């Protein structure tokens, strides 16, 4: 009978240790999961902030004149796919010399008309001045219209895929509110909350 009682006590002790170990394991797992979630949220938060800043900068530079005659334009067609996707933002700057293979932006640049961005396919000289034959990478044939140097807005320096959708949407009142104002208010509110918590901690010390 004593032996049986001893085994029972050992079993109970073993069960107690198992429960304690399981509890500790659960707490450690919970802490690790919570830390991973916080890291993931911080990364997402940083991406959102960077996105808002980028859209805001592109929105400003697409509306206001920039030093050096840089222009930020939105591509609204797929004629330059896959080099430049529809909805991309292109940064354009005038240069002194345009060569075959350069992607140039040309044509009317008004509130109602958007210029075209195509690659220089060929160059010929007419009356001592260069005339450019252009072609969209996705098009089968060169453009019918020949381009004079005076028609060129500038050379495409680089493009940012799909950012044009956000920039164009942000130009509208609803888009500006959803993309710029609301996220900015959330970020500012979060920062104010952090400052308040830190001040409260210092006060309690």
Residues 80-104: tens digit of each pLDDT? 999 999 999 898 989 999 999 999 9
How many H helices and E strands in the chain? Answer: 4, 7
Q: Who wins on pLDDT, 111 or 174?
A: 174
User: Is 107 exposed, middle or buried, given 0-12, 13-18 or 19+ CB atoms closer than 10 A?
Assistant: middle
Q: Who wins on pLDDT, 142 or 202?
A: 142
pTM for the whole thing?
A: 0.62
Q: Who wins on pLDDT, 192 or 12?
A: 192
Per the CB < 8 A criterion, the answer to whether 106 and 84 are in contact is: no
Tell me the average pLDDT of the chain. Answer: 79
Name the β-bridge partners of 134. 120
Q: Who wins on pLDDT, 164 or 133?
A: 133
Catalogue the long-range contacts made by 128-133 (C-beta closer than 8 Å, 24 or more residues apart).
Answer: 130/98, 132/98, 132/104, 132/106
């Amino acid at each position: 009978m004593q032996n049986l009682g001893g085994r029972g006590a050992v079993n109970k002790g073993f069960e107690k240790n198992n429960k304690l170990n399981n509890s500790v394991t659960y707490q450690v797992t919970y802490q690790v999961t919570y830390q991973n979630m916080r890291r993931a949220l911080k990364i997402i938060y940083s991406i959102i902030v960077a996105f808002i800043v980028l859209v805001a900068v592109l929105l400003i530079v697409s509306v206001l004149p920039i030093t050096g005659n840089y222009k930020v334009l939105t591509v609204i067609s797929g004629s330059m796919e896959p080099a430049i996707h529809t909805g991309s933002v292109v940064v354009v700057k005038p240069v002194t010399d345009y060569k075959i293979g350069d992607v140039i932006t040309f044509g009317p640049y008004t509130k109602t008309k958007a210029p075209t961005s195509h690659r220089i396919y060929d160059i010929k000289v007419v009356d001592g001045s260069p005339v450019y034959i252009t072609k969209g990478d996705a098009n089968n044939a060169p453009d019918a219209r020949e381009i004079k140097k005076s028609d060129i807005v500038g050379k495409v320096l680089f493009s940012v895929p799909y950012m044009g959708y956000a920039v164009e949407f942000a130009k509208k009142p609803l888009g500006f509110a959803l993309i710029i104002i609301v996220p900015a208010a959330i970020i500012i509110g979060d920062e104010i909350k952090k400052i308040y918590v830190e001040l409260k901690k210092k006060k309690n010390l």
